Amino acid sequence: MTDFKRDGSHLAYCPPVEKWDDWVELDPEAWPRRVEKHYSLVPTVCFNCESACGMLAYIDKETGQVAKFEGNPMHPSSRGRLCAKGPATINQIHDPDRVLYPMKRVGERGAGKWARTSWDEVLETFGTRIRKAMQEGRGEEVMYHVGRPGADFFMERVLQAWGIDGHNSHTNVCSSSARLGYLLWHFSDRPSPDHANARFILLLSAHLESGHYFNPHAQRIIDGKMAGAKLAVMDPRLSNTASMADYWMPTYPGTEAAVLLAMAKVILDENRYDAVFLKNWTNWEELEVDGFTAKGQSFEAAIGALKEHYAQFTPQFAEKESGVRADVIVKIAREIATAGSRFASHLWRGSASGNLGGWQPARALVLLHALTGSIGTEGGHSLNHWNKFVAKPFKNPPPQTRWNEILYPPEWPLCTHEMSFVLPHFLKEGRGRIEAYFTRVFNPVWTYPDGFSWIEMLRDEEKVGLHAALTPTWSETAWFADYVLPMGFSSERHDLMSQESYAGRWIGFRQPVNRVLRERAGEKFEYTYQANPGEVWEEDEFWINLSWAIDPDGSMGIRQYFESPYEPGRKVTLDEYYGWMFENSVPGLPETAKKEGLTPLQYMRKYGAYEVNRDVYKQNEKTLSESELAGAKVEQGGIITKQGKAVGVMINDEAVVGYNTPSRKLELFSKTMADWKWPEFTLPEYYRSHIHRGAQAASLERSADDFDPKYAPVVQWPKDAHGEVYTLLPIFRLPNLIHTRSGNAKFLYEISHKNPLWVNPEDAKTLGGVRTGDLMKVHTEIGFFVLHAWVTEGLTPGVVACSHHLGRWRINQDENVERMSSAWVDLKEVGNGQWKMRQLQNVSPYDSPDADTKRVWWSDAGVHQDITFPVHPDPVSGMHCWHQMVRVEKAAPEDRYGDIFVDTNLSFAVYQRWKALARPAPGPGGLRRPLWIPRVVRPADSAYYFKK
């Protein structure tokens, strides 16, 4: 496909826009007769991952029902293409097991009994409880906890309007280690690789098949390859991505930084670095390392010190650590140097989220970009906030002045996001309680480690007063809520999104397609649930109405933010909320719309997306204008400040914006790390992960010179844990699954529904001749799970692997459950904190309004491994380190497929051992965390300080 053009001239097979009102196709079900079907095509945005690809809903003109989803060719990021998960939205909206009405529990929490309630009752109940908490000064007991965000800034604004520090997210089980590594370099916590224009692409993990911006990135990686770029993949598994690569580097997990630093050494030693870029744009003048101080020294002397410091990272050392051949490391380093400014890379989960110290591979990777001058360049590595556009709504509330220590506790002052996965342990330690808890498209009982600790927390009404699960599907977490509130899928809701998916900035508008179409025809709806199936609502209208319920007369100062910007005093509608943004906050959109005789809102409803601009490279070099410089002064190091805040930097006598770091340059040397008690990590480094072979030896009480207990706690095996010690990779995803929401997408489950244990043939021999299909028992530090083996050469020896996304279970056999994706289980607490789960019934065909449910041919729902993992908060980034040291053996005769056992007393003890390795705040000046490090919903600066 040629590149996106706003006039649609890049299209080959997609319906042209002028035919969207009456698109004609032949009815496949009528074949061999030629029967025409007429559709209205309405754009929306996929909700099945965070890429926000553009979709077209094909609405059958005869039935008024959505018949299918295809790509929206007018969307600049996805360019008319979707992955398998986008079209599967059709399954989700027509799923006979979906939640259609607001439900309230009857009986005890977790008993699985529900009755229908009304939206008015829900708003009244939560409005009253939250108002009371706020009036009693307990606003921090209100918590919003998001799994899939799928929107930009809406909730941040709601929470700041409420004046509370109550935003929690899933990010610390996902990407926060990678984010810390990126952030320390350049403030931006996400990379935005320009794959399409690169000459060499290095992927750490499986981004081509299942990356964070999967479809938009995959097509641009292929664009790059077709234009001659080479692709290298570092991954212990022979993933589909690795199979497409020119180089596959099957690293032993956790050693990736050693390989990257060895590449950096090659580039330094061979003097193939970009000296001009390094000299201008890194803070080399602040370098202090191994007794060398750069202050007053030449650039060349600083480079010499770097060479000496990284001398230990020989390719041979990296080979010994990682298993990747030294000559391959050298070859790739030279290819990267040759690509120069056109070197692109991506790291998001994989090694970053699997390992203790997982933030170091991101730092080491950016070192390669700094050395090659490939930051902000065409074909290089860019910063997410340069390529993402977040439109601002009307009337924004001030930042909250409180600090919630359950979200950002003092032990992890450098965590980029909330310490969400240890919440049950915080409550167990008596650090606080929750009065009103909203989980939003979020299923921690199933997707988090240590799910039984979550069950224990959620069922305790002292700890969690009132819990609403805002969800499109039934889930393991929803069963432990008080209310299950049905929220819409992609075609049933509004959201505005942008992602840094290529070298350009864009917005995508998700919209409830049936409502939009019926309003076009003249119908009127007050709320989206009136046009959706059942009473499925959307969060935007829910939060607006809840804000009014909390502050009905406006006396708390909340309601004002949810009144119409055009008619204060009246409740804002979503047409007004988004219409105001499109008119006032999106450069160029009003003019573009006007050319077609449309308002900006009509334009977005018609096309579903808008490309804001492509002038995105080298934003650090933007010169400061005269007005920006008025009243500014140049401080030490060339930093330009205005009213006490850094606004730019002098580079070669020119005043430019620079980066949002303390030095306004790329921070090769991080003084922040030294200031916050990690002086050994001021430079990108490699240190050994919690699953390194040294850590394995220590767990067996064998001597291990290469294990340092300062960074990793010694694993203490439960008494009945037997078998050989392995590293378990539990976080690779199957490209067609979507966490919890694939459970109601029959097309997707038909493709993938098993998650066996990958075992290398060498290890299969060591384990006593394991064959594919044998039943294996995998012991973790807190319990075990039982599953089948899959013997495969597509995995590094010494490592076993099991995909996440599978192993759904349900406690009810038939009612209020997703039957095609889950096993019916017997769940028992057999002692204090000791939990057993046994599968009673596999997936089987069943009667429903969808005839396909009688045709379900698969029986396996997989095995839920995550629930047997203890929490591993990285002492620096706070991120859960997902990889597990496990003991593997053949299952005993009494073990059955899917058996699970966990002792949550052990999980609490593991949490304590990891917590002890953190180095808590305060930092300099009594700070809770560095002022320059952002938060999702940033409080006022004053809240960053501990109260005296």
Binding region for ligand SF4 (CB under 6 A):
46, 48-49, 51-53, 78, 82-83, 85-86, 214-215
Residues 6+ apart with CB under 8 A from 914: 713, 871, 872, 873, 875
Helix, strand, coil shares of the chain, percent, nearest 5, are: 35, 20, 45
Those residues whose C-beta lies under 8 Å from the C-beta of residue 627, and which sit 6 or more positions away, are: none
Rounded to an integer, what distance in angstroms lies between the CA atom of residue 498 and that of residue 294?
A: 41
Q: How far is the CB of 49 from ligand SF4 (least distance, A)?
A: 3
Toward ligand SF4, which CB reaches closer, 72 or 453?
Answer: 72
Query: What CA–CA distance (Å, rounded) separates 249 from 688?
Result: 18
CA torsion sign, 171 to 174 to 176 to 178? negative
The whole-angstrom separation of Cα 402 and Cα 943 is 6
Element at 222 (helix H, strand E): helix 214-226
What angle separates helix 574-584 from helix 600-607, to the nearest 10 degrees?
Answer: 100
**Residue 804: CB minimum distance to ligand SF4, A:** 16
Shorter beta-carbon distance to ligand SF4: residue 253 or 735 = 735
CB nearer to ligand SF4: give 47 or 474.
47
The least CB distance from residue 739 to ligand SF4, in Å, is 11
Measuring CA to CA, how many Å separate 720 from each of 697, 781, 783, 839, 904?
A: 18, 10, 9, 22, 16
Distances (CA, A) of 560 to 160, 399, 402, 567: 12, 16, 21, 11
Nearer to ligand SF4, 46 or 419 (CB): 46
Residue 244 burial by Cβ neighbours in a 10 Å radius (0-12, 13-18, 19+): middle
Name which of 215 and 689 has its Cβ closer to ligand SF4: 215
Name which of 524, 527, 575, 520 is nearest 548 in CA terms. 527
Query: Is the CB of 71 or the CB of 112 nearer to ligand SF4?
Result: 71
Residue number with CB closer to ligand SF4 (496 or 867): 496
**Cβ 347 to ligand SF4, closest distance in Å?**
18
CB of 213 to ligand SF4, least distance (A): 7
User: Could you tell me the CA-to-CA distances from 7 to 19, 24, 73, 401, 507 in Å, in that order?
Assistant: 14, 22, 10, 47, 17
Question: Helix 359-372 to helix 326-339 angle, to the nearest 10 degrees?
Answer: 50
**Distances from the Cα of 831 to the Cα of 430, 451, 510, 722, 828, angstroms:** 22, 17, 48, 22, 9
Quickly tell me which residue has 């370098």 as its tokens. 287
CB 211 within 8 A of CB 235: no
28 burial level (CB within 10 Å; 0-12, 13-18, 19+): exposed
Give the per-residue SS3 of 359-384.
HHHHHHHHHHHHHHCCECCCCCEEEH
The residue among 87 and 756 lying less far from ligand SF4, judged by its C-beta, is 87
Q: How far is the CB of 501 from ligand SF4 (least distance, A)?
A: 9
The minimum distance between CB 393 and ligand SF4, in angstroms, equals 23
3-class state of residue 157 by DSSP:
helix
Q: How far is the CB of 617 from ligand SF4 (least distance, A)?
A: 25
Residues 265 and 281: their CA atoms lie apart, in Å, by: 20
Total Cβ atoms within 10 A of residue 844: 13
One-letter amino acid identity for 179? R
Q: Which residues pair with 900 in a beta bridge?
A: 785, 837
The residues, ordered by sequence, that sit 6+ positions from 529 with a Cβ below 8 Å of its Cβ are 119, 535, 536, 537, 538, 541
Strand partners, 823: 809
Shortest spacing between CB 852 and ligand SF4, in angstroms: 21
For ligand SF4, the closer CB: 743 or 783: 743
For residues 854 and 261, give the distance between their C-alpha atoms in angstroms, rounded to a whole number: 55
Collapse the DSSP code of 757 into the 3-class scheme (helix H, G, I; strand E, B; otherwise coil) and give the result.
strand
Return the sign of the alpha-carbon dihedral for residues 853, 854, 860, 865: positive
Asked whether 101 and 535 are in contact (CB, 8 A), the reply is yes
CB closer to ligand SF4 out of 80 and 323: 80
Nearer of residues 88 and 531 to ligand SF4, judged by Cβ? 88
**3-state SS, residue 639:** strand
DSSP letter at 16 equals P
Residue with tokens 């769940």: 827
Least separation in angstroms between residue 69's CB and ligand SF4 is: 9
Please tell me whether the peptide bond between 32 and the residue prior to it is cis, using omega within 30 degrees of 0. Answer: yes
Per-residue DSSP letter, 311: G
